[in-house]
Amino acid sequence: MLNRRQFGLSVAGTAAALGVGPMVGRAIAADKLKVGFVYVGPVSDHGYSYQHDLGRKHVAEHFGDRVETTYVENVAEGPDTERVINQLAAGGCGLIFTTSFGFMNPTLKVAQRFPKVKFEHATGYKRAANVATYSGRFYEGRTVCGLIAGKLTKSNIIGYIGSFPIPEVVSGINAFTLALRSVNPQAQVRVVWVNSWYDPGKEAAAAKALIDQGADILSQHTDSPAPIQEAEARGIYAFGQSSDMSRFGPKAHLTSIVDDWTPYYIQRVQAVLDGTWKSEDYWGGLATGTVILPPFNPSIPEDVRALATKAVEDIKSGALHPFTGPIKDQSGKVVVAEGKTATDPEILSMAYYVEGVQGTLPK
């Protein structure tokens, strides 16, 4: 019965909000900020949604009595999305984080209906006066992984499991490949698209196919630990995604690209409490702690570890930019000239493979 008290509070809020509408909801939000979260997957996915929920828990811990959090998990991207977001707003949430790309248009529609509620949409590109966007520079982590892979691969074939061919994922593949070939020009990357963010069955099948094609290191941009488990079973290496996946393959797991939303969530909740919240586009990376790499596998040799650690430091300080020219696409055309670095808009709309990626990008 631990939850009783907490529950009594939220029911009082519910009855008021449901009975008398959003006006009362706002009155409640005035003394206690209600923060809502919408997740695309289950909080138990051990990946993307799990990390967002970890951020929510830290927010609840950090602010204690000043904030109340609530979430809805496994929300399908489709006709139901808008209702869920609307329920949160009508239920008195003053700040709502919608954490999947597919929630973009529904978020904007609800935001129009509730101009006083603040919305934060992850990984999208549409903003409004009360809709901010935020995302992570995951490609920075990919650069570090690429360096490690280049040093460790023996077959010179790296398997890469992709979700959807969108810029976020494509830029990750490219950053990985550029770093990989900077230390090992012979290495190639093979990509398999599974067209899902979370599908353990498909991810495992893709991992098997890539290993059968000779890949001795796997990288993934999908959220389940299935590829790590497959790599562990077959005795090869792999990089985890979103959360620290070392427990799913202690031998295979080299490192993971962990999304840590806690600093950003705390900062934004604080801004709403202070009344300083503004609609912005936030894109945090290694330097802001949005992207972190958990401890490297002890089996990684000392020199490779030093190389990776230096890369992390250089990216943080700005001395190293993952997309530094000359960068050539698959056809050999120079896309980023020598001495230049890719701009943020260029990274955010990346729709080509760099040299070293095999296969063609689905168009």
Partner 1 sequence: MSLKFEPRREIPAWLVYGTPLLAVALTILSGYFLFMILGLNPGATLYIFLVSPLETQFGLAELAVKAGPLILIATGLAIGFRANVWNIGAEGQLTMGAIFGAGIALAFWGEEGFWILPLMFVAGALGGMMWAAIPAFLKTRFEVSEILTSLMLTYVATLVLSILVHGPWRDPEGFNFPQSRLFTEAAILPVILEGTRLHAGAFVSLFAAVAAWVLLTHTVTGFQVKVVGQAPMAARFAGFSQKGTVWFSLLLAGALAGLAGMIEVAGPIGQLTPQLTPGYGFTAIIVAFLGRLNPLGIILAGLVMAISYIGGENAQVYAQLPQAATGVFQGMLLFYLLASDFLVRYRVRFQSTKARDAKPRPEVAAA
Q: How far apart are CA 200 and CA 209, in angstroms?
A: 14
Single out the residue of 80, 212, 280, 281 in contact with partner 1 (rule: CB under 8 A).
80
324, β-bridge pairs: 341
Instruction: Report in angstroms how near the CB of residue 158 gets to partner 1 at its nearest.
Output: 23
- Quick one: which of 323, 296, 341 has its CA closest to 149? 296
Instruction: Report in angstroms how near the CB of residue 363 gets to partner 1 at its nearest.
Output: 6
Output 160 or 237, the one with its CB closest to partner 1. Answer: 160
Single out the residue of 24, 58, 62, 73 in contact with partner 1 (rule: CB under 8 A).
73
Single out the residue of 60, 165, 205, 335 in contact with partner 1 (rule: CB under 8 A).
165
Instruction: Report in angstroms how near the CB of residue 30 gets to partner 1 at its nearest.
Output: 19
Output 115 or 185, the one with its CB closest to partner 1. Answer: 115
> Could you say whether residue 72 binds partner 1 (CB under 8 A)?
yes
> Could you say whether residue 77 binds partner 1 (CB under 8 A)?
yes
Instruction: Report in angstroms how near the CB of residue 186 gets to partner 1 at its nearest.
Output: 29
The percent of the chain in helix, strand and coil, each rounded to the nearest 5, is 45, 20, 35
Single out the residue of 50, 63, 71, 198 in contact with partner 1 (rule: CB under 8 A).
71
> Could you say whether residue 105 binds partner 1 (CB under 8 A)?
yes
Instruction: Report in angstroms how near the CB of residue 126 gets to partner 1 at its nearest.
Output: 10
- Other C-beta atoms lying within 10 Å of the C-beta of residue 20: 11
Single out the residue of 326, 334, 349, 359 in contact with partner 1 (rule: CB under 8 A).
349
* Contact present, 189 and 358 (Cβ < 8 Å): yes
> Could you say whether residue 362 binds partner 1 (CB under 8 A)?
yes
> Could you say whether residue 61 binds partner 1 (CB under 8 A)?
no
Q: Most distant CA pair in the chain: distance in Å? A: 67
Output 104 or 300, the one with its CB closest to partner 1. Answer: 104
- Other C-beta atoms lying within 10 Å of the C-beta of residue 183: 15
> Could you say whether residue 10 binds partner 1 (CB under 8 A)?
yes
> Could you say whether residue 35 binds partner 1 (CB under 8 A)?
no
Instruction: Report in angstroms how near the CB of residue 289 gets to partner 1 at its nearest.
Output: 26
Q: How far apart are CA 315 and CA 26, in angstroms?
A: 42
- Other C-beta atoms lying within 10 Å of the C-beta of residue 31: 7
Instruction: Report in angstroms how near the CB of residue 231 gets to partner 1 at its nearest.
Output: 27
SS (H, E, C) 290-316: CEECCCCCCCCCHHHHHHHHHHHHHHH
* Contact present, 277 and 121 (Cβ < 8 Å): no
Give yes or no for a cis peptide into 326 (omega within 30° of 0).
yes
Instruction: Report in angstroms how near the CB of residue 124 gets to partner 1 at its nearest.
Output: 9
Q: What x/- string results for residues 118 through 147 when contact with partner 1 is judged by CB under 8 A?
A: -------x----------------------
Single out the residue of 66, 83, 116, 247 in contact with partner 1 (rule: CB under 8 A).
83
Instruction: Report in angstroms how near the CB of residue 1 gets to partner 1 at its nearest.
Output: 5
For 259, left (φ over 0), alpha (ψ -120 to 50), or beta? beta
What are the residues binding partner 1 (CB under 8 A)? 1-4, 6-8, 10-11, 13-14, 18-19, 21, 36, 42, 70-74, 76-80, 82-84, 86-88, 90-91, 101-102, 105, 113, 125, 164-167, 170, 195, 348-349, 351, 362-363
